[in-house]
Structure 1
Amino acid sequence: MNAQEPALTRQGLSTPEELLTGPQVMARLQLGRFAVYDLLRTRQLASITLGRALRIPAHAFTDCIRTRLEQEAAA
């Protein structure tokens, strides 16, 4: 990897993993801070910490939505 490429990549893929911030997730879901951080706290939405920065992998974001849709459909 050179200095231009993000350090984190999904295992087995050559493309870098997109990492989202809390505010980016809030904007995409059109939810407030408390609702998004509650999803993180209850581990319904996976995240990683890099130093003091919290980041949500894009695949974790889509997995969370997919899981919620499946739960709603099963109810």
Structure 2
Amino acid sequence: MSPTPPSDSLRLYRVTDAMNLLSLSRTVIYEQIRAGRLRSVTQGRTRLIPASAITDYIALLEQEASAA
């Protein structure tokens, strides 16, 4: 069963929004981005996380949990 994207109409989330959605700290969000586990895009100086990247990240966590 694949996770569904966040229910609201946003397609791009600021890091602070992703922090709330994923219950992770700012540091962990940026670590996951640097590690390539959480995709992001930039618009000017703003880093944004697509809703699909959040869905993919949740699926990755679920896959890792079921493999353990």
1:58 has 2:51 as partner: yes
* Residue identity matched to 1:52: R
Question: Is 1:29 paired with 2:15?
Answer: no
Partner of 1:42: 35
Q: Which has the larger radius of gyration?
A: 1
Q: Unpaired runs of 5+ in structure 2? A: 1-8
C-alpha distance in structure 2 between counterparts of 1:60 and 1:17, whole Å: 13
Alpha carbon RMSD of aligned pairs, Å?
Answer: 1.5
Deviation at 1:72, TM superposition (A): 1.0
Structure 1 residue 49: Cα displacement? 0.8
Alignment length (residue pairs): 60
User: What percentage of residue pairs aligned between the two structures are identical?
Assistant: 35
Richer in helix (by share): 2
Calculate the TM-score normalised by the size of structure 2.
0.80
* 1:15-39 CA distance string (max 9 Å, x none): x970001000101112111111111
Describe how 1:4-15 pairs up with structure 2 within 5 A.
Answer: none
**TM-score, normalization by structure 1:** 0.73
Q: Which amino acid aligns with 2:12?
A: L
Q: Which one has more relative contact order, counting CA pairs under 8 Å at least 6 apart?
A: 2
